[in-house]
Amino acid sequence: MEKINVRKRILSANERYALKNSELLAQRKQLCLNMISSPGSGKTTLLARTCSELNTEIRIGVVEGDIQTDIDAERIRATNAPAVQINTDGACHLSAAQVSSALDQLPLDDLDMIFIENVGNLVCPGAFELGEHGKIVVLSVAEGDDKPIKYPGIFAKSMVLLVSKIDLLDGGHVDFDLDRVKTDARRLNKGVEIIPVSAKTGEGMAQWYDWLREKTRQTRA
Amino acid sequence: MEKINVRKRILSANERYALKNSELLAQRKQLCLNMISSPGSGKTTLLARTCSELNTEIRIGVVEGDIQTDIDAERIRATNAPAVQINTDGACHLSAAQVSSALDQLPLDDLDMIFIENVGNLVCPGAFELGEHGKIVVLSVAEGDDKPIKYPGIFAKSMVLLVSKIDLLDGGHVDFDLDRVKTDARRLNKGVEIIPVSAKTGEGMAQWYDWLREKTRQTRA
């Protein structure tokens, strides 16, 4: 019995904060997206380019989750977007309580939307709701095209799949079958939006920005 | 008090199995290495090439850990090395109990050494001892050179750091400062052996094989 109580208390703490975050965001009509991927898929580079290129039309704030260091928040701040760094100090995912405290530190009145960049981990972050409107999973072509079937959880739950680093496909530097990924991801998640992008060359970014504009507009409406 | 008991029971179950595994391996003088990385760093490709090229001198068996699918074990078996697949069904790391059961299924009498390929995750697997002799961390150059400082735990604990997919460095397809990685990894772990490899071109594999031969020999002695 005591075991069950302990577990219930932990779950409801995260859920309570997730609810608090989602209520705050709903009240303010601010879109909030939880970005999840393996380490090194290029989340921060994607976000930095997105902040730079959209800052005159969509004011973006970022919550950066990392086990250690604040280099990701620094990279976002270099684009003039506000960023709050959370260090989980060994923990493998962000909690809703950490996000709640980060939202308190962001200048929300000056923002249209918020990205949460979760700890680099394709498994655990997907299991913890943060109060976001939706999840974005990023898969770099260097990671291989078998990832949707090997790590189905996060692909099944995400609004958008950004297939990143597609510049590496030119010249056949990596073996990656984009059609296989699309088929496997849609088998797990019929409605998932799949956008191949390169934050290096800019390819595909316009489609990503269109999706983001529309989603921000819907949330504001 | 009850909370503390629950936690103690869980920890000691893994530790008990880890001890059982390490005693079995010590008795049989069989080297066992726990390979850990992000998803898509190329662990299976590295292992498949290693099994193929060393099979006349070192008889290798593999324990494959994945959340779902048995495609990695199939890839290893295609090299004629025996492989046992464990599906964690959502869990983000292998447990020592799962490895114990996999060791029971491998033909240990016909093997010189065993690789455990853990679930693709740079965070959680490092916290669970499996009874292995040591950990091998694999970092692909596509993941970026900031990973040792951002995910220090596993870099601090590993015997060997394999820097994989170095073929992508030729022609500057990815930005990756190998010297920075070496410096940061050695700051965390003075004695770590760092071997840059490409399982595609074969570059660096001879050095990896030499290390493996020597370690297998030491364990047998």
Are B146 and A38 a contacting pair at CB < 8 A? no
What is the pLDDT confidence band of residue A7, given thresholds at 50, 70 and 90?
low
Whether residue A5 is predicted with pLDDT greater than 60 in this model: the reply is no
Residue A172 is predicted with a pLDDT of 85
Task: Read off the pLDDT of each residue in A166-184 and give the average, rounded to a whole number.
Answer: 94
Q: What is the pLDDT of residue A8?
A: 55
User: What's the confidence (pLDDT) of residue B13?
Assistant: 87
Do B147 and A3 count as a contact with CB atoms less than 8 A apart?
Answer: no
Q: Residue B142 in contact with residue B168, Cβ under 8 Å?
A: yes
Would you call A71 and B40 a contact, using CB atoms and an 8 Å cutoff? Answer: no
CB contact under 8 A, B150 and A6: no
The arithmetic mean of pLDDT across residues A101-107, rounded, is 98
Which residues of B touch chain A, with CB atoms under 8 Å apart? Answer: 2-3, 6, 38-41, 66-69, 71, 90, 92, 119-124, 140, 142-144, 146-147, 149-153, 165, 167-168, 173-174
Question: Do B123 and A122 make contact, defined as CB atoms within 8 angstroms?
Answer: no
Q: Which residues are paired to A64 by β-bridges?
A: A85, A117
Please state, rounded to an integer, the average pLDDT across all residues of chain A.
94
What would the two tokens of residue A19 be?
Answer: 């609810």
Tell which of A46, A154, A173 to mutate to test the B interface (max B CBs under 10 Å).
Answer: A173
Instruction: Give pLDDT, residue B181.
Output: 98
Cβ–Cβ below 8 Å for B67 and A150: yes
* For residues A71-78, average pLDDT: 97
CATH 3.40.50.300 fits B2-220, yes or no: yes
Q: Search chain A and give the residue with CA nearest B9.
A: A3
Say which residue the tokens 């009874």 belong to: B131
* pLDDT average per 10 residues of sequence, chain B (221 residues): 53 88 97 98 98 96 97 97 96 96 98 98 95 98 97 97 96 93 98 97 98 97 90
Sequence-ordered list of residues with C-beta below 8 angstroms from that of B9, at least 6 positions apart, any chain: none
- What is the average pLDDT across A150-171? 96
- DSSP state for residue A9 in the 8-state scheme: H
pTM greater than the 0.80 cutoff:
yes
Both tokens of residue A164?
């990143």
Nearest alpha carbon to residue A137 among A78, A197, A219, A63: A197
pLDDT of A1: 47
Q: What is the pLDDT of residues A12-55, one digit of tens each?
A: 689 999 999 999 999 999 999 999 999 999 999 999 999 999 99
Give CA–CA dist A164/A49, Å, rounded. Answer: 13
| Residue among B102, B125, B122, B153 nearest B41 (CA) | B122
Question: Helices B2-28 and A2-28 sit at what angle, rounded to 10 degrees?
Answer: 110
Instruction: Kindly report the nearest CA distance between residue A104 and chain B, in angstroms.
Output: 25
CA distance B5 to B13: 12
**Cα separations (Å) of B31 from B74, B94, B113?**
22, 18, 5
Residue B40 has its nearest CB partner, among A6, A92, A144, at A144
* Assigned token pair, A161: 């799949």
| Cβ-Cβ contacts under 8 Å, B153 against chain A | 67, 90
Biggest distance spanned by C-alpha atoms of chain B: 60
| pLDDT score at B1 | 47
Question: Hey, of B36, B38, B169, B200, which one would you mutate to test binding to chain A, going by the most A CBs within 10 A of its CB?
Answer: B38
